[in-house]
Chain A
Amino acid sequence: MAAATALRATLLLGLWCALAGAAPADMPVGIAAAALGAWASLLMVPPVRARIRPGALATLLLQLPAKALGAGIAVARVALDPRRRPNPRTIAWTPRLPPGRARDAFLAYASLLPGTLPAGVGPDGTVLVHALDGEADVAAAMTMEEALFARAFGLDV
């Protein structure tokens, strides 16, 4: 618990320094803000024992810019071409991750990926996913991304 508190406070202080600068006169405010932030984050998201696989996590993070580029280009093409209209569809997808913070974290990550936007809980434990292109196999893409995400964080699926 103490290690998690120290890690979060250090990361938040680093973010404070990146945003506001590291002038010595400002540091008391930065340290107080980082401590308050660490306390609030521990209250809302208690630490869990993650088995992070650095290689898989690096692959996940390095692929994100390329996926963001693909997602942006796909949306821009539909938005700017007057002959094309989006063909949206909401599908029910069955995740393998159990309900909880790991699944919530994956769904937040999935909202940044091309063509998918989680839109709440569906019937029978499914998750509703809004797809911009209704023809695409969104469920298969979500399952593949979930496996990559789970491998990076050492989660059981």
Chain B
Amino acid sequence: MSLLADAFTVICVVAGVGFFAAGTAGLLRFPDTGSRLHALTKADHLGLGLIVLGLLPRAEALGGAFRLLAIWALVLLASAATGPLLARVAQRRDPSA
């Protein structure tokens, strides 16, 4: 059982790190601010979600699991609020984008 939980954690965390790397690659490669925001909001959210999912079986108690989920939810909330705001500013500065 412990081996299964360890394998689950390793697979999820490695996949999460992979999506963070993809988000960073998008941040560097994508041509405009809007596309870079896609990389940061979509790939990085998934990366963080997978890391949280992988760490859930390692949580010491229910409180630890709630804390991990709360961190993910707060990041999603902050991102949903700030992503469109940044996109709006970028659109105003460069309407052709």
Inter-chain contact A112/B39, CB cutoff 8 Å: no
Instruction: Tell me which of A15, A21, A75, A85 contacts B38 (CB under 8 A).
Output: A75
Residue with the highest number of chain B CB atoms closer than 10 Å, among A21, A75, A80, A90:
A75
Stretch from A27-35, A65-73, A146-154 that touches the partner: A65-73
Are A75 and B34 in contact (CB-based, < 8 A)? no
B80 touches A79 (CB 8 A): no
What 0/1 readout, one digit per residue, does chain B (55-85) give for beta carbons within 8 Å of chain A? 0000000010011011100001001110110
Q: How large is the interface on B (under 10, 10 to 19, 20 to 34, 35 or more residues)?
A: 35 or more
**Total number of A-B contacts with CB less than 8 angstroms?**
121
B2 to chain A, nearest CB (A): 26
State which size class the interface on A falls in: 35 or more
Nearest chain A residue, comparing its CB with the CB of B22: A76
Question: Residues on B close to A: CB < 8 A?
Answer: 18-19, 21-23, 25-26, 29-32, 34-35, 37-39, 41-43, 45-47, 49, 63, 66-67, 69-71, 76, 79-81, 83-84, 87-88, 90-92, 97
